[in-house]
A and B are shown apart, each in its own frame.
Chain A
Amino acid sequence: MPNQIAGIGVGLRREYAKELARTERQVDFIEVMPENWVCFGGRRRQQLEACVERFPSVTHSVSLNIGGIDPLDGELLDATSALLKRLEAPFFTDHVCYSSVRGQPISDLLPLPFTREVIEHTAARIAAARDRVGCPLALENATFYSHMPGAEMDEASFLCQLLEAGDCGMLLDVNNVYVNSQNHGFDARAFIDRMPMDRVWQLHLAGHTLVDDTIIDTHIGPIIEPVWDLYRYTLRRAGRLIPTLIEWDQDIPSFDAVVDEVDRARAAAQQALGKEAP
């Protein structure tokens, strides 16, 4: 029986893994990036074991390349599958993007054209990935800085149709919605209104960075008030506390500063839902 996740969690990062494993502060679950952990032994493996032994866990990869045209990476899928079994995780997640071209992983989340062809192509790969891993898949709405040519619909329609066609869950990154809304000039709340909340299994929150005229999804915190506001709005729309994860991936401060964001998320959830968050 998989361990369900609930409440507010943090991503497992090498920078604070030791402190996370022994913290007395409340962290409800963790997210493990397979690329950063599955190939390693030694101290890194020891840190992973200490954390997953203690916290309910899910995986969150960046290399699935679900929208790409290279074959799916069997080694990554099998490694993810093995990790998911070890974690007894309820699902695995990656991003709506491509991350490999001509057989070369490029370790970034690159934007897809919003077309029906991409939806059909990606939906088939969702099914293939899910079958090989043997676990449900949820995909995250990624930030994108450029619209790719040939778009036949907007991002919200593309996501809704893709999730439906792929029959998969959604990891709704609230910060990404905010970043995209600012970079592309749309109403973030209206975007949230269009998301299929019954498919949303997890939320992400993070900081970001303004560079020239563009907000970059750097995962450098702290989370700004408009994102907290959008988070509260999202929870009210959902009518439930969707498991929420704090991402802080660059310029990582003290572990306590990261968990302060967890506490803020818990308080925001309580404000939004009017009841004690777990």
Chain B
Amino acid sequence: MKLADFYSRIAPFMLGEIGHDEVVAALWGKDPPKTDAARLRIYGRFCKNHRFETLEFVFSECRSAVVRHLGELAWAEIVEDYFTAHPMHHFELNRNGEHFADFLARDPGQPPRWPPYLAALADLEWWEWQAISAPDDPGDAEPDKGPLRLGSTVELRPYAFDLISWLDDYEEDERPEAPEAEPIVVLFWRDRRLAGRRDKASPLEMLVIKAIVESVPLDAELLATLQVEPETLAATAADLHAAGVILGSPDLLPAAG
């Protein structure tokens, strides 16, 4: 058997497209060597496990929610369907989950095969992972120097469900079946100790972040626009700076009075 022929016969099994009996017949015909044929199952199991591990590391809350309410089989179908739609492509395994939230958002099936909040939960887990893992940016190296700017990992994401309260206010086994359908915006960032963080963003925090992005000075003119007290703006900016969301010289932060 030529090498190209070998791969064409065995690849569908390793990718989970055909079963053990089929690949044994494809490789050895009607009289396969018993032990070698039987042990081929080990590889099928390994490859399947890797597909599951790839999603379950980053999307552990998604898995937990699906398994708790729909069962292991439902999760297994989601994993296999995802990799059929978005085959593995990157040697860093977690990277292969980058389309999972989109996949869940686009194809719930009819009737829906997963709860309506699952795509949002996957998006939240993905961006939380980005805050933890994204490559370092030289611009973050001196957080107390230079102009005011956002940390390279800062991301704001809107959600139609209050996922943060649902995840953080309850132990997993006491959680309500679904999060409240309440719009929130979540701020993701890597803090000064290099930990990945996420929290609900307040309207004022979002306005301060917008001002930083647009290079609008945090001064009296902005105060008038935002209609907040100087102390409130100063405290918010200082909190975001201390957390590592805003970087730059502390001298450039607004004063309290």
Enumerate chain A interface residues (CB-CB to B < 8 A). 34-36, 38-46, 61, 63, 68-69, 73, 75-76, 98, 101-108, 110-111, 113, 115, 117-118, 121, 145-150, 183, 214, 216
Contacts and interface: CB of A to CB of B under 8 A. Distances in A.
Contact of A117 (B2, B11, B14, B90): B2
Contacts of B40: 145-146
A149 B27 contact: yes
Contacts of A69: 3-4, 7
B190 interface: yes
A108 B91 CA distance: 11
A104 B3 contact: no
A39 B133 contact: yes
B134 A41 contact: yes
A150 B50 contact: no
Contacts of A40: 133, 135
18 contacts: A41-B137, A41-B190, A42-B132, A42-B194, A42-B196, A43-B194, A43-B195, A68-B7, A101-B11, A102-B15, A102-B87, A105-B90, A105-B93, A108-B43, A146-B35, A146-B39, A149-B27, A216-B42
Interface string B121-151: 0000000000011111100000000000000
B47 A108 contact: yes
Contacts of A98: 7
B168 interface: no
Given A108-B50, A146-B43, A45 B136 contact: yes
A150 B1 contact: yes
A107 B50 contact: yes
Nearest to A46: B194
B46 A108 contact: yes
A117 B87 CA distance: 29
Nearest to B54: A107
Top 10 closest pairs, chain A to chain B, by CB: A41-B136, A101-B11, A145-B39, A63-B91, A146-B36, A39-B92, A41-B135, A107-B50, A104-B88, A150-B1
B37 A73 contact: no
A76 B91 contact: yes
Contacts of A101: 7, 10-11, 14-15
A40 B42 CA distance: 31
B33 interface: yes
Contacts of B92: 35-36, 38-39
Given A63-B91, A69-B4, A106 B33 contact: no
B89 A103 contact: yes
B15 A106 contact: yes
Contact of A35 (B28, B47, B91, B195): B91
Interface string B70-92: 00000000000000000111111
A149 B91 CA distance: 28
B39 A75 contact: no
B14 A113 contact: no
Contact of A149 (B1, B88, B132): B1
B134 A42 contact: yes
Contact of A110 (B4, B14, B134): B14
Contacts of A34: 91
B28 A41 contact: no
